[in-house]
């Protein structure tokens, strides 16, 4: 049977999938390089020893990219810890100058809250409360040091100075509560933006206006809703980019398969824009292939990226009867299936999903042709399968 058909397609070429993987990893590495440079700049600001640079590999082969990404990720983690320690020391020294209540030794530089101070002698009640406030400030300093926004670190350090300098215990406790609240909020915001930056790594290898816009949004995420919306839009762009890449690969593989089977695509593929039901933009490619064994007829191949389908149908080049059209559909059946089978050798799995019987659907006539006035429609037969989008 060779009425209109629909084949679901899937790119299975190991070489193509690895190429895409390498392209995405290269894009992520470029983003890691930018992030690492920013962290090293902060480390340099504190006058701390700088790490050895992570060298870009001379080759961009698969294994070299994997090794480069691993080195960059490890370097970022190490420098983040170094910045946190340098920041904690700087903040502690600053607070110690403001008031001899917090010193460097009281701050846990490993990222854990500093232990409460112990005393062997009973102090007056006011001194006890002042000591507890100072110990709480030490603990908050650990949180502040973990912030990578220097402006926020400075703002919170000023509040900590006010807590230690005030002579009113009540005021100190109120300011301390404000300090804790702001520090925790800042850390939550930093975590959300880290998650946002992680999300946009999914489009690190994509060079487009939309991808740039998403990367810009990651730095502006404020709320959980902002983060969710960003992740949704990233996933949508990833899907569109993958669909477009798949369609282009299928188009190229189809052109090679048609040529191998003796088809001629004189006008090449015509590409047009369209949107699916969700208003997402796509580009479909259509080509009409002619074969010497079937004069007067061609087979239209349509690659639809929105639903990953390859549609085929026979076209008449001129005046023809319904019986002639049905016969042409029958005679081209084997070749259409051969095309689908040959696609596998070119890295595309094509599985028959929809099919009409010869004569069930009127054969289209190419522009400029005229149907014979004596043509009579062929008797319709029962559909075998028709569960997806019909051929356009």
Residue 167 in this model has a pLDDT that exceeds 50: yes
Residue 88 in this model has a pLDDT that exceeds 60: yes
Give the mean model confidence (pLDDT) for residues 76-87: 95
Domain membership flag for residue 228: no
Based on the fold, state whether residues 96 and 214 are members of the same structural domain. Answer: yes
Residue 226 in this model has a pLDDT that exceeds 90: yes
Q: Which residue has the higher pLDDT, 368 or 278?
A: 278
Dist CA 382 CA 150 (whole Å): 72
Dist CA 32 CA 38 (whole Å): 10
Q: Find out whether 65 and 73 touch, Cβ atoms under 8 Å.
A: no
Based on the fold, state whether residues 271 and 353 are members of the same structural domain. Answer: yes
Based on the fold, state whether residues 172 and 267 are members of the same structural domain. Answer: no
Dist CA 37 CA 194 (whole Å): 16
Based on the fold, state whether residues 124 and 60 are members of the same structural domain. Answer: yes
Using a CB cutoff of 8 Å and minimum separation of 24, what contacts does 174-177 make?
Answer: 176/133, 176/136, 176/137, 176/140
Instruction: Report how many domains make up the chain.
Output: 2
Give the mean model confidence (pLDDT) for residues 307-321: 92
Q: What is the pLDDT of residue 340?
A: 95
Q: Find out whether 339 and 260 touch, Cβ atoms under 8 Å.
A: no
Give the mean model confidence (pLDDT) for residues 279-308: 91
Domain membership flag for residue 231: no
- pLDDT tier at 374 (50, 70, 90 boundaries)? very low
Among 191, 222, 253, the domain boundary falls at 222
Residue 229 in this model has a pLDDT that exceeds 80: yes
Give CA 136 to chain center in angstroms: 41
Pairing mode of beta strands 364-365, 270-275: unpaired
Helices (H), the chain: 14-45, 62-98, 125-145, 150-165, 169-200, 209-218, 224-260, 322-343
Q: What is the pLDDT of residue 2?
A: 61
- Bin 117: left if φ > 0, else alpha if -120 < ψ < 50, else beta: beta
Dist CA 25 CA 62 (whole Å): 9
**Domain extent at residue 343:** 245-365
Residue 361 in this model has a pLDDT that exceeds 60: yes
Q: What is the pLDDT of residue 83?
A: 94
Residue 346 in this model has a pLDDT that exceeds 90: yes
Among 222, 256, 278, the domain boundary falls at 222
Based on the fold, state whether residues 280 and 183 are members of the same structural domain. Answer: no
Based on the fold, state whether residues 208 and 274 are members of the same structural domain. Answer: no
- pTM for this predicted structure: 0.78
Based on the fold, state whether residues 94 and 200 are members of the same structural domain. Answer: yes
Dist CA 289 CA 388 (whole Å): 23
Q: What is the pLDDT of residues 16-56, one digit of tens each?
A: 999 999 999 999 999 999 999 999 999 999 999 999 999 99
Q: Which residue has the higher pLDDT, 184 or 108?
A: 184
Domain membership flag for residue 7: no
Based on the fold, state whether residues 213 and 311 are members of the same structural domain. Answer: no
The highest-confidence range among 1-15, 123-137, 185-199, 271-285, by mean pLDDT, is 185-199
Closest CA to 27 of 203, 196, 194, 197: 203
Based on the fold, state whether residues 273 and 353 are members of the same structural domain. Answer: yes
Based on the fold, state whether residues 194 and 84 are members of the same structural domain. Answer: yes
Q: What is the pLDDT of residue 159?
A: 93
- pLDDT tier at 279 (50, 70, 90 boundaries)? confident
- Bin 355: left if φ > 0, else alpha if -120 < ψ < 50, else beta: beta
Q: Which residue has the higher pLDDT, 384 or 167?
A: 167
Domain membership flag for residue 392: no
Domain membership flag for residue 387: no
Give the mean model confidence (pLDDT) for residues 374-380: 35
Q: What is the pLDDT of residue 175?
A: 92
Mean pLDDT of the chain: 85
Based on the fold, state whether residues 186 and 278 are members of the same structural domain. Answer: no
Based on the fold, state whether residues 204 and 258 are members of the same structural domain. Answer: no
- pLDDT tier at 363 (50, 70, 90 boundaries)? confident
Dist CA 243 CA 252 (whole Å): 14
Domain membership flag for residue 187: yes
Q: What is the pLDDT of residues 235-264, one digit of tens each?
A: 999 999 999 999 999 999 999 999 999 999
Domain membership flag for residue 125: yes
Q: What is the pLDDT of residues 125-159, one digit of tens each?
A: 767 888 888 889 989 999 999 999 999 999 999 99
Domain membership flag for residue 240: no
Dist CA 360 CA 33 (whole Å): 60
Residue count of the chain, please give it: 392
């Amino acid at each position: 049977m060779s009425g209109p058909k629909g084949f679901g397609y899937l790119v299975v070429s190991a070489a193509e999938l690895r190429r895409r993987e390498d392209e995405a990893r290269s894009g992520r590495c470029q983003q890691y390089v930018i992030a690492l440079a920013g962290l090293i700049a902060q480390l340099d600001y504190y006058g701390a020893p700088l790490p050895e640079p992570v060298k870009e590999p001379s080759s961009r082969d698969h294994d070299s990219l994997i090794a480069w990404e691993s080195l960059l990720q490890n370097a970022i983690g190490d420098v983040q810890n170094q910045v946190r320690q340098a920041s904690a020391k700087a903040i502690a020294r600053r607070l110690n100058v403001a008031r001899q209540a917090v010193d460097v030794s009281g701050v846990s530089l490993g990222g854990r809250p500093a232990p409460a101070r112990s005393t062997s002698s009973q102090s007056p009640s006011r001194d006890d409360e002042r000591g507890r406030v100072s110990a709480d400030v030490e603990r908050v300093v650990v949180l502040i040091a973990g912030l990578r926004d220097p402006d926020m670190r400075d703002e919170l350090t000023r509040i900590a100075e006010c807590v230690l300098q005030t002579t009113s215990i009540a005021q100190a406790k109120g300011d301390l509560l404000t300090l804790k609240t702001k520090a925790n909020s800042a850390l939550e915001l930093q975590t959300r933006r880290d998650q946002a930056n992680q999300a946009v790594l999914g489009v690190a290898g994509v060079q487009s206006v939309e991808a740039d816009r998403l990367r810009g949004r990651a730095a502006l995420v404020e709320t959980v809703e902002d983060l969710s919306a960003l992740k949704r839009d990233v996933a949508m762009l990833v899907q569109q980019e993958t669909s477009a890449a798949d369609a282009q690969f299928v188009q190229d593989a189809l052109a090679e398969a048609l040529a191998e089977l003796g088809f001629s695509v004189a006008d090449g593929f015509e590409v047009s824009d369209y949107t699916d039901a969700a208003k997402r933009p796509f580009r479909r490619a259509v080509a009409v292939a002619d074969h010497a064994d079937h004069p007067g007829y061609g087979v239209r191949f349509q690659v639809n990226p929105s639903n990953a389908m390859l549609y085929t149908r026979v076209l008449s080049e001129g005046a023809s009867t319904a019986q002639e059209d049905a016969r042409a559909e029958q005679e081209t059946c084997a070749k259409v299936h051969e095309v689908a089978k040959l696609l596998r050798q070119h890295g595309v799995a094509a599985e028959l999903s929809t099919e009409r019987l010869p004569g069930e659907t009127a054969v289209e006539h190419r522009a400029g042709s005229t149907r014979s006035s004596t043509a009579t429609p062929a008797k319709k037969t029962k559909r075998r399968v028709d569960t997806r989008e019909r051929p356009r």
